[in-house]
Every structure is written in structure tokens, then in C-alpha cells.
């Protein structure tokens, strides 16, 4: 058995003193990263980013009023104040399939799909990020990046697999996508190692031969899994093909930021910030058009002392903190909104032709619960930022609470967003009705 090496977190912080100081490297990002794409190719440049915040929010501090210059933001949303004009605060939406079943485990995995999670077998539905990835993502090295900051929980909760609360991104109803949690390994993938690339490319066709011959031996159900394997290998092939067109490791990214430390880092300030930086770089360098990021599993017991000031022991357990509610809980909401704001700021500072990278993007920030402690699923906190390539108006407070139920379903929002990515489907999830104003 292999002993896992435990890295004392404090040790890392000491060792990374220089790195911590260097965190504002992103300010220099714009100059360091050369435009990787044709700035006028708007369709190709559209990006989608989804953030998932676990365990809900302090509801009374989550609101907005008014539109445009007169828009007023609640305490939790204050970090977004400089970006009011690029923002839509969307209130009053809900996910009908989240109303039944275990409060956390059944509502989290469907936050981006609106499907119903099943108890007996692992099954939910394809999520909006993956629908977009299947179209807008395909002309990039990575159709999508699915990220997180902690491993999925193990075991069952009231009979429901905890896998659910750790996966919001699903490529189809039975395929939750494993997340990348390690900044270093994400960095390494983005940068690419030419030696590895060369060797990998050279065997890809060989293993595909295996997969095809194997598929003939397997049952119909298993052939689907083999098809998935083949699709993924082809995805890698395309990506590595693109990567090996460069002569060496991606110089753009290496120039933009230092290599993150190799240690496993579960849920720390540095961890979260590194992931945000990497997301910015991945989008800016044209490595990917679609990113999904979970700020923890729903029900997470993560120690969030890094996200609020105080030594209340409740901070040691995010989920329990959410049940207590109150100022500390609100502070953690504020922290994650601030990181969202960081990304907005970064994307806004990057010019792509006449527009900014933010204009070309649609950023979504959501949680499955409104007030975390009461598991309120009658509405969800949702934020949108960016103009999605120009079609989405911003600077608005949108409140759907008083609309009839079918006109305030979260999938109606998604259906509308899909249109901005030229995906004109009749329905998405449980909705056929595009939300007003989206």
C-alpha cells in the first residue's frame, strides 16, 4: 500500500511565501498572455463558466434592486459593485425536481440540468455546461474543464450516493464528470509536456484499436461505455494534435503564472485563488471555452476558516455553519462571491477586438439552496455576468418570483442561455419556456 504523503498546510504556506506575494500576477496577465484566437471570431470566442456554491447562502443578504446605474447590491454581492453594468442578478428561479428527495444530495447534482436524480441507480441528466461544451467547446483543446476544490464524499446519505453532491457536471444522464481538484495538475495539463504529448500521441491509435475490438466482445450496455472511452480518446487525440502543433510546452501560460506547488491542497484560500487564476488563463489563452467549478461539494464539511474572519468553531464545518446561518456564514458567501468578482475583473481586463473577454462570456454563479440552513429550494441564488457574445443584456435585477411556476424554472434560464451559444433546442431539462428577458 502506498502511503500518501501528507503536506502540512502551514508548511506549504511558508514555502510558498514568494508565491503568495506573487498572487497579483494576474494584473500582468493581460500583457503576458498573447491573444490566442482571432478576436473578431465572436462565435468561436464565446465562453461559458459555471460556478457552484455549496450549502446555500444567507438569504437576507443576497438581493439586488434596480437596473443600470441605479442598481443596488446587497452586502454579500458588494464585491460585484464595480461590475454592476456587466451583471444580472437573477432571483426567484427554482428547480422543480429539487423539491423532493434528500435536501442536499438530490438538489446539487441537478443544479445545472434540472433532471431528477434517482436513488436506486446513479442517474440524473446532462448539464448545460456540457451541452455548450459539445458545441462551443469542440474547437478548443479542452471541450470543457470541470474543476473543484475537494474530493467527492464517500458513502450514502439516507440511501443516496454522496457522489451526487460532488458532481454538477454531467455529460449524459449516467455520466457525472470527475473533477480536477489539483491546481498543479491542471496547470500541467494546460501547459502540456511535449515529451509526454509525443509519446501519448504515438499510442492513441493503438489503444483505439483495442477499444474497437473490445467493443465487439462486450454487451450492448458496456459498448456504450466503450463508446465513451473512444470519444474521450479521440478528444485527447484532437487536443494533443493541437498541442503538438506547438514545438514545446505552452510558453504563453508558463509566462503568465508560476507553476503551482505540487502538494495536494484541499480547500484553502490559495487553492481557490489558484483555481480562479487558472480558469482565467485557460479562457484567455483559448485552451477552453467552457469551465465548471465547484466551490466544494454540497453538504461539504470543509473548514472555511479561510473565508471568514473569526475563530468560531463553526467555521470548521461549512455545512454546519450554514445551519447556524448569520454573519460568519454570510462572510463565507461574500468570500466566494469575491472570487467570482476576481474572475469577472480579470476577464474584463482582456481585450478581444472591440470587446472584452467578459463581453464574450457568460458567467453563471449559483447554488442549489437559497437559505442553506432551511434547505430552501423554492428559489435559488443565481448571478450572471457578461454579455454572452453580445446578445445578453446586463446591468439588471431580474426577479421571477411572482411569475407562474413554468416561467420561473431554472431550466428556462438555461434554455435561454443556450440560444446565446447558437444552440436552438426546443427544450432543456424540464422546461420548454425561455425565461423572459434572457
CB of 40 to other proteins, least distance (A): 30
Q: Using the minimum distance from each CB to other proteins, give the nearer residue, 175 or 333.
A: 175
Binding flags for other proteins, 215-244, as an x/- string (CB under 8 A): --xxxxxx--xx-xx--xx-xx--x-----
Among 47, 84, 140, 189, binds other proteins (CB under 8 A): 189
User: Which of residues 122, 132, 274, 337 is near other proteins by CB under 8 A?
Assistant: 122
Rg (CA), the chain: 21
Rounded Cα–Cα distance for residues 93 and 434 (Å): 12
Instruction: Classify strands 145-147 and 156-157 as parallel, antiparallel or unpaired.
Output: unpaired
**# residues contacting other proteins (CB under 8 A):** 82
> Least separation, in Å, of the C-beta of 79 and other proteins?
27
CA 149 to chain centre: 11
Interface residue with other proteins, options 45, 76, 107, 182 (CB under 8 A): 182
| 406 sits near other proteins (criterion: CB under 8 A) | no
Give the span between the Cα atoms of 98 and 104, in whole angstroms.
Answer: 9
H/E element holding 65? strand 64-65
d(CA 149, CA 422): 31
Q: Which of 360, 328, 329 is nearest to 344 (CA)?
A: 360
Nearer to other proteins, 29 or 111 (CB): 111
Q: What stretches of 227-379 adopt beta strand conformation (E)?
A: 290-294, 351-352, 355-356, 361-367
Enumerate residues 294-323 that contact other proteins by CB under 8 A: 301, 303, 312-314, 316-317, 320, 323
Query: Stretches 206-214, 274-282, 379-387, 418-426: which one binds other proteins (CB under 8 A)?
Result: 206-214
Among 168, 177, 293, 438, binds other proteins (CB under 8 A): 177
**What is the closest distance, in whole angstroms, from the C-beta atom of residue 310 to other proteins in the complex?**
12
Residue 196 is a binding residue for other proteins (CB under 8 A): yes
x/- letters, 64..93, toward other proteins (CB under 8 A): ------------------------------
Interactions with other proteins, residue window 267-296 (CB under 8 A)? none
Q: Which of 17, 18, 69, 213 binds other proteins (CB under 8 A)?
A: 213
Q: Which residue in 368, 380, 369, 364 sits closest to 417, CA to CA?
A: 364
Who contacts 27 (Cβ-Cβ below 8 Å, separation ≥6)? Answer: none
- Which residue among 37, 242, 376, 419 contacts other proteins (CB under 8 A)? 376
Nearest to 144 by CA among 400, 428, 421: 421
Helices (H), 172-260: 183-191, 194-217, 220-245, 251-256
Stretch that binds other proteins, among 51-59, 210-218, 352-360, 379-387 (CB under 8 A): 210-218
Cell 503568495: give the residue. Answer: 20
Strand order in the sheet with 47-53: 145-147, 290-294, 47-53, 361-367, 380-385, 87-93, 396-399
Does residue 134 bind other proteins (CB under 8 A)? no
Nearer to other proteins, 48 or 142 (CB): 142
CB of 232 vs other proteins, minimal distance in Å: 4
Complex with other proteins: residue 79 or 153, whichever CB lies closer = 153
335: DSSP letter: H
**Contact indicator for 304, 286 with CB cutoff of 8 Å:** no
For 221, the grid coordinates are 450496455
Contact criterion met (CB below 8 Å) for 335 and 51:
no
**43/138 with CB nearer other proteins:** 138
Positions 135 through 164 that interact with other proteins (CB under 8 A): 143, 146, 151-156, 158-159, 161-163
Q: Smallest Cα–Cα separation from 340: which of 402, 374, 294?
A: 294
d(CA 119, CA 249): 45
Select 20 or 236, whichever has its Cβ closest to other proteins: 236
Site string for other proteins, 327-366 (x = CB under 8 A): ----------------------------------------
- Find the part of the chain contacting other proteins (CB under 8 A) among 3-11, 16-24, 282-290, 390-398: 3-11
Rounded to whole angstroms, what are the CA distances from 72 to 16, 90, 166, 237, 362?
39, 13, 33, 48, 21
Name which of 137 and 345 has its Cβ closer to other proteins. Answer: 137
Of 242 and 264, CB closest to other proteins: 264
Amino acid at each position: 500500500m502506498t502511503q500518501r504523503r501528507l503536506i502540512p498546510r502551514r508548511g506549504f504556506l511558508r514555502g510558498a511565501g514568494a508565491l503568495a506575494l506573487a498572487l497579483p500576477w494576474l494584473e500582468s496577465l493581460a500583457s503576458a498572455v498573447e491573444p490566442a484566437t482571432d478576436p473578431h471570431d465572436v462565435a468561436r470566442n464565446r465562453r461559458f463558466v459555471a460556478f457552484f456554491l455549496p450549502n446555500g447562502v444567507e438569504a437576507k443578504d443576497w438581493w439586488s434592486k434596480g437596473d443600470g446605474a441605479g442598481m443596488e447590491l446587497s452586502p454579500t454581492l458588494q464585491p460585484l459593485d464595480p461590475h454592476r453594468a456587466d451583471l444580472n442578478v437573477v432571483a426567484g428561479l427554482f428547480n422543480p425536481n429539487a423539491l423532493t428527495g434528500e435536501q442536499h444530495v438530490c438538489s446539487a447534482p441537478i443544479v445545472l440540468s434540472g433532471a431528477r436524480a434517482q436513488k436506486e441507480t446513479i442517474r440524473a441528466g446532462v448539464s448545460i455546461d456540457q451541452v455548450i461544451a459539445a458545441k462551443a467547446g469542440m474547437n478548443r483543446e479542452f471541450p470543457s474543464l470541470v474543476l473543484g476544490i475537494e474530493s467527492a464524499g464517500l458513502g450514502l446519505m439516507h440511501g443516496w450516493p454522496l457522489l451526487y453532491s460532488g458532481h454538477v457536471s454531467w455529460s449524459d444522464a449516467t455520466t457525472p464528470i470527475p473533477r480536477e481538484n489539483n491546481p498543479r495538475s491542471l496547470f500541467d495539463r494546460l501547459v502540456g509536456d511535449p515529451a509526454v504529448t509525443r509519446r501519448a500521441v504515438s499510442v492513441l491509435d493503438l489503444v483505439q484499436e483495442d477499444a474497437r475490438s473490445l467493443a465487439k466482445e462486450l454487451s450492448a450496455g458496456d459498448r456504450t461505455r466503450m463508446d465513451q472511452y473512444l470519444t474521450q480518446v479521440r478528444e485527447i487525440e484532437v487536443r494533443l494534435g493541437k498541442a503538438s502543433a506547438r514545438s514545446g510546452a505552452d510558453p504563453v501560460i508558463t509566462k503568465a503564472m508560476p507553476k503551482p506547488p505540487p502538494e495536494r491542497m484541499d480547500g484553502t484560500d490559495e487553492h481557490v485563488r489558484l483555481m480562479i487564476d487558472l480558469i482565467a488563463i485557460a479562457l484567455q489563452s483559448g485552451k477552453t471555452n467552457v469551465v465548471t467549478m465547484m466551490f466544494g461539494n454540497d453538504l461539504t464539511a470543509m473548514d472555511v476558516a479561510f473565508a471568514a474572519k473569526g475563530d468560531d468553531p463553526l467555521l470548521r464545518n461549512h455545512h454546519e455553519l450554514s445551519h447556524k446561518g448569520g454573519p460568519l456564514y454570510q462572510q463565507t458567501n461574500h468570500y466566494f462571491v469575491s472570487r467570482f468578482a476576481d474572475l469577472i475583473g480579470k476577464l474584463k481586463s482582456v481585450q478581444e477586438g472591440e470587446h472584452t473577454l467578459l463581453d464574450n462570456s457568460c458567467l453563471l454563479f449559483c447554488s442549489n439552496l437559497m437559505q442553506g440552513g432551511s434547505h430552501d429550494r423554492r428559489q435559488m441564488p443565481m448571478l450572471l455576468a457578461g454579455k454572452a457574445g453580445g446578445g445578453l443584456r446586463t446591468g439588471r435585477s431580474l426577479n421571477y418570483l411572482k411569475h407562474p411556476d413554468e416561467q420561473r424554472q431554472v431550466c428556462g434560464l438555461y434554455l435561454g442561455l443556450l440560444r446565446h451559444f447558437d444552440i436552438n433546442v426546443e427544450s432543456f431539462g424540464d422546461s420548454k419556456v425561455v425565461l423572459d428577458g434572457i
